[in-house]
Amino acid sequence: MGFSKWISLVFILHASLALPVFSKSSLSPEDLAQIPVNFLDFAKRPELSEWMVDIRRKIHENPELGFQEFETSKFIRAELDQMGIAYKYPFAETGVLGYIGTGLPPFVAIRADMDALAIQESVEWEYKSKVPGKMHACGHDAHISMVLGAARILQEHRYELQGTVVLVFQPAEEGGGGAKKMLDDGALERVDAIFGLHVSSSFPIGAVASRSGPLLAASGFFEAVISGKGGHAAIPQHTIDPILAASNVVVSLQHLVSREADPLDSQVVTVAKFEGGGAFNVIPDSVTIGGTFRAFSKESFIQLKHRIEEVITKQASVQRCNATVIFNENEKPFFPVTVNDKDLHKYFREVAGDMLGTQNVKEMQPLMGSEDFSFYTEVIPGYFFFIGMKNETQGQFEQGHSPYFRVNEDVLPYGAALHASLAMRYLLEKQPKANPPKGSFRDEL
């Protein structure tokens, strides 16, 4: 029986029987190629797609900020309970790890982020955020729904999994570095590879995009207080003007990228905050500036950080001001570069190509945006990709972090099926060469 028919039969039987176990060798390349196709068909069925829409809307209505995703986490655990999926909790305060499969190696992870943004939603629709000033404006509600959708597909196929899929629901992607805390709590111990995705308004529905190697930049934030001596605006000789000093600091910071960095090594320094003074006729005591810096290599990133501090303090002293610079790494940890594994890129192109057609698997340029998924790619092979939502017939889909951000819910089956296919085929294709070492059972399973 061809694998496709076999899969269909499994769906009919709801996979409640102890099904025969097969290894990769029993599947032809055609059989493997059929898995993503069947999973997408399955995910598009109303029973699964409507369920995912429902989940996404419930989460959308109840957004929670980083490390406060208590209700979201509870909701996810209730869904896992309903599906009979074992999980561990908490990781990094609100994080959840679900497990599907044998409980044995190899382990492959699929990841969703759970946090919302401090934005007041401006989209008027039935499932608008019920929490003033908070909104899922980056699509993390869709990411949760997709991983839960994948969980349902994989749970249906649990007896065919040749290893274990780890469902990673992590807190605080938006600047909080939830991924780092998940790692500190041991979330990815013994996981062989991890996949993550982000919805994107830049690519059409049914298309995905990514690249091998560096995909997203390393990022950090800085804040500086430039202090002078306030006084009457008409008698400047009795003051030390921090507004003028801070203005010169902003201009001097521009030199770091335009004059000091290699033009072929992309970097950004942006001053996005400038606060000082409150009256037309008073020179204030101090000015606070803040911003972000980005780079694609560790060396460039460290160099930028060093020079930002130096330029701010020294430039301020030219105008007789003092400056203190903080990088506030405890609250806003530096994100490393998100680097996609070369072999996983090849693997992703195969799986996504089988599902969507190779013309819909796009190569993209790196972006100066950042992702805390990068913490995972620092320690294990990882792969991050964008999944398209654009559909001109459904109007304009704004970019993330806009109060007008909308998710095209047609994307949910694609995300669920891709997660499930990437995980299942990874286990089928990446069987360990030798027997697993002693003590390799996960005692928590």
Report the binding-site residues.
138, 140, 174, 198, 401
DSSP 368: S
Compare residues 65 and 250 and give the one whose CB is closer to Zn ion: 65
Q: What is the rounded CA–CA span in Å between residue 305 and residue 265?
A: 16
Minimum distance from residue 389 beta carbon to Zn ion (Å) = 13
Both tokens of residue 346?
Answer: 């090849």
Whether the Cβ atoms of residue 28 and residue 354 lie closer than 8 Å to each other: no
CB-based closest residue to Zn ion: 138
Strand 164-170 with 107-113, pairing: parallel
How many C-beta neighbours within 10 Å does residue 429 have? 15
Q: What is the rounded CA–CA span in Å between residue 348 and residue 419?
A: 10
Minimum distance from residue 105 beta carbon to Zn ion (Å) = 30
Compare residues 138 and 217 and give the one whose CB is closer to Zn ion: 138
Compare residues 110 and 283 and give the one whose CB is closer to Zn ion: 110
Compare residues 63 and 228 and give the one whose CB is closer to Zn ion: 63
What would the 3-class secondary structure string for 232-277 be? ECCCHHHCECHHHHHHHHHHHHHHHHHHHCCCCCCEEEEEEEEEEC
Minimum distance from residue 45 beta carbon to Zn ion (Å) = 28
Compare residues 92 and 283 and give the one whose CB is closer to Zn ion: 92
Q: Which amino acid is at 356?
A: L
Minimum distance from residue 2 beta carbon to Zn ion (Å) = 39
Both tokens of residue 42?
Answer: 């399955």
DSSP 284: -
Minimum distance from residue 220 beta carbon to Zn ion (Å) = 16
Compare residues 148 and 216 and give the one whose CB is closer to Zn ion: 216
Minimum distance from residue 344 beta carbon to Zn ion (Å) = 20
Q: Give the annotated binding-site residues for Mn(2+).
A: 138, 140, 174, 198, 401
Task: Report the interface residues with Zn ion, using CB under 5 A.
Answer: 138, 400
Minimum distance from residue 144 beta carbon to Zn ion (Å) = 12
Whether the Cβ atoms of residue 183 and residue 375 lie closer than 8 Å to each other: yes
Helix (H) or strand (E) holding 417: helix 411-429
Residue 365 burial (10 A CB sphere; 0-12, 13-18, 19+): exposed
Whether the Cβ atoms of residue 246 and residue 270 lie closer than 8 Å to each other: no
Both tokens of residue 265?
Answer: 């090594």
Compare residues 136 and 345 and give the one whose CB is closer to Zn ion: 136
